[in-house]
Structure 1
């Protein structure tokens, strides 16, 4: 498994920032600190997206069996993180997650946050292969749907 070349990642970052008009800062790092396999993370407090290249490569191989489409996978994950960065409802939704809600309400809000980001991402990816993107989205949202299914009403 290879890590995406930083120069290629930087080109994709520039292209998507330009396409989105986002003022978010994008930071490229090697690995996510800790044991979780997080490919990208948006910080509302600093309006910063951090992309973890090692985890993105691992996710791509895990989901597709190879790293042949690693650059495309990186682009989809970054578009999703830009979706969080440009979501005008994110601050309000994140705030409602912190309120004392039922497990079901929290799970639904978390799903809405992710769906909003994916909806925005799709606008940045008109050239992407639909089946490829759909598989990533389906995998990404699976744990949120599971949380809703398992949450007490």
Structure 2
């Protein structure tokens, strides 16, 4: 995939959302985890890990044919974090949590907020792709909160 295609996708989505977040692109996440994107609240910067996004796409859909749409979905989600007006407050609350249950519930809220924002900017992407990514992204967060209730 040409870098210019990826840069165009990023530029178009930034323009579409009106976000002022800074964006960096790197090939892979520095730790041994499959992380496609990360928002850094202190620098108001999103880092996209292109190789990891490709791996995630193939893992989820068994093909890289949806890579561009998957990139849009991941990037829109990270913009969702960047534009979440509650994020700083929720992060402060995370720091103050006394139980893992509280932390898990707040982490789920943070992710759901970002996805809610992202969905509003993904109208041109196949809704079934978006729904699949959101479902799998939130699955572990939801399982953690459900296990604690059971």
One fold, TM greater than 0.5? yes
- What is the match of residue 120 of structure 2? 123
Q: Which residue of the partner structure matches residue 58 of structure 2?
A: 61
| Residue 91 of structure 1: aligned partner | 88
Report the TM-score, using the length of structure 1 for normalisation: 0.94
Distance 1:123 1:35 in 2: 32
Distance 1:64 1:152 in 2: 31
- Tell me, in whole angstroms, the C-alpha distance in 1 between the residues paired with 2:149 and 2:122: 36
Measure how far apart 1:81 and its partner are: 0.2
TM-score (norm 2): 0.96
CA RMSD of aligned residues (A): 1.2
- Aligned structure 1 segments of 4 or more residues deviating by more than 4 angstroms: none
- Distance in 1 of aligned mates of 2:125 and 2:149: 38
- 1:21-79 per-residue CA deviation (whole Å, 9 max, x = no partner) reads 11100111000001000000000000000000010000000000000010110000000
Deviation at residue 116 of structure 1 after TM alignment: 0.5
Alignment of 1:110 onto 2:125:
no
Q: How many residues align?
A: 150
| Structure 1: gaps (5+ residues) | none
Does 2:145 correspond to 1:148? yes
Give the Å deviation of 1:152: 6.5
Partner of 1:134: 131
Structure 2: 5+ residue stretches without partners: none
